[in-house]
Amino acid sequence: MTTTSFAVDAALGGVPARELAATYGTPLFVIDLDVFDLEVDRVVRSCAPHGITVGYAAKAFLCAALAEHLAATPLRLDVCSLGELVTAERGGFPAERMYFHGCGKTAEELQAIVDRRVAFDVIDNDEELARLAAITSPADPVDVMLRINTGIEAHTHAFIRTGGENTKFGFALAAAPAAFARIAALPQLRLIGLHGHIGSQIAETAPFVANLDELLGLARIARASGHPVAEIICGGGIGVEEGPDDPRPVDIDELTAALEGRARGTGLRLAVEPGRAVIARAGSSLYRVMAVKTQGRRRFVIVDGGMADNPRPLLYGARHLPEVVAARAAGPDEPATLAGRSCENDEMGDYVLPRDLAAGDLIALRITGAYTYSMASNYNRFGRPAVVFVRDGHHRRVIRAETADDVMRLDVV
């Protein structure tokens, strides 16, 4: 059970939490751009000496304002839906620095890849290969990569494990040479690289290296077949200590050095695609306590958010570090369960919280930047929260909170 930190004047990005709550309401999703920039710089500085390209995984969190911010960085952008693509475009992120993932792309998405001249499509299966070939021309070939399921399993939660023979993603190793042959017969497609993603929240270097070894072997086969394969994307989310139960993350410098060492002398460029690793620490979720009550031997602190704005505790057992924001000094602590207001047992974790915690107090869950807002829903017809950027004591809203009218906007009556 984790002891909660306590602050009378807690600040996010130099802005008092109480000011943010008063201005934008709660629940509220807050991104500290200084922290985000530091994390981006940390990854880029580790990758640059080894010639490794960095792509940001939009699925972790994306809005038009963040896309605009990312456009000024050296990062590429990994998108996996038309919605993410359009969001990036609205933020001014250039299509030639985007690439498109997905194991079930729609006809509209494939056409967008071609029409908007996205840098390349990461093809997941034979059906997609045929469908893309049918809408392209040898006079204007489209660059593609193949997503390869190398069979390497990362030691992570089953729901975020994307490698291994029993997962749905990519071409199996044994099927890859046949896919190379099919592309060779399609002059409208140009195979420029291979991609292998093994999961998220990975805390070890070894699975990344093993995945790369398999991809290097396939790259040699593809090149021998005449394909201009020039890049391998070493996919997989670098772990982040988001809560007290998470393992120590992989050392980024150790990882990039190990990857470059494996690929040295091959003439192949390498790339990684962090999402959580650069956005998680930048984000905080600000909630207001709605009620405190005791049921049997358990004390519950119920806040005005929950699984609708952050389903990760319920899905993955994720735990985040809370900070209590109150207008008074802290009293004695005692155990409590932090819970949301959804009509589910959406418990966020067991913590040691001030005994005198009361309705109206604020709680900031830290390190919630990744896969919280991006996985939010309108469950119980709740509106999704506003999103605010903070930096150096300044703040601005980049997504407004949804109202009841917003929740109803697609209903046809």
What is the C-alpha end-to-end distance of the chain, expressed in Å? 49
**Cα 93 versus chain centre, distance:** 18
DSSP category for residue 302? E
Nearest to 122, CA basis, from 149, 160, 152: 149
| CA distances (Å), origin 35, targets 18, 53, 340 | 20, 21, 27
Q: What is the distance between the alpha carbons of residues 73 and 138, in angstroms, rounded to a whole number? A: 33
Buried-exposed string 327-336: b where 16+ CB fall within 10 A, e elsewhere: eeebeebeeb
Q: What is the distance between the alpha carbons of residues 34 and 14, in angstroms, rounded to a whole number? A: 10
CA atoms within 13 A on the CB side of 336: 27
3-state secondary structure of 52: strand
Torsion sign (Cα): 284, 288, 289, 290 = negative
R_g of the chain, CA atoms, integer Å: 23
Q: What is the distance between the alpha carbons of residues 198 and 273, in angstroms, rounded to a whole number? A: 12
Q: Report the 10 Å Cβ neighbour count for 49.
A: 11
Contact 144, 192 (CB under 8 A): yes
Question: Any long-range contacts for 259-266 (C-beta under 8 Å, 24+ apart)?
Answer: 259/50, 259/52, 259/208, 259/209, 259/212, 259/234, 260/50, 260/51, 260/52, 262/209, 262/212, 262/213, 262/216, 263/212, 263/216, 263/232, 266/216, 266/219
| CA distances (Å), origin 379, targets 30, 191, 246, 306, 357 | 21, 42, 27, 10, 27
DSSP category for residue 19? H
Token readout for 117 is 């001249």
Choose, from 63, 80, 103, 343, the residue flagged as catalytic. 343
Q: What is the distance between the alpha carbons of residues 329 and 67, in angstroms, rounded to a whole number? A: 40
103 noted as active-site residue:
no
Which residues have a catalytic role annotated? 343
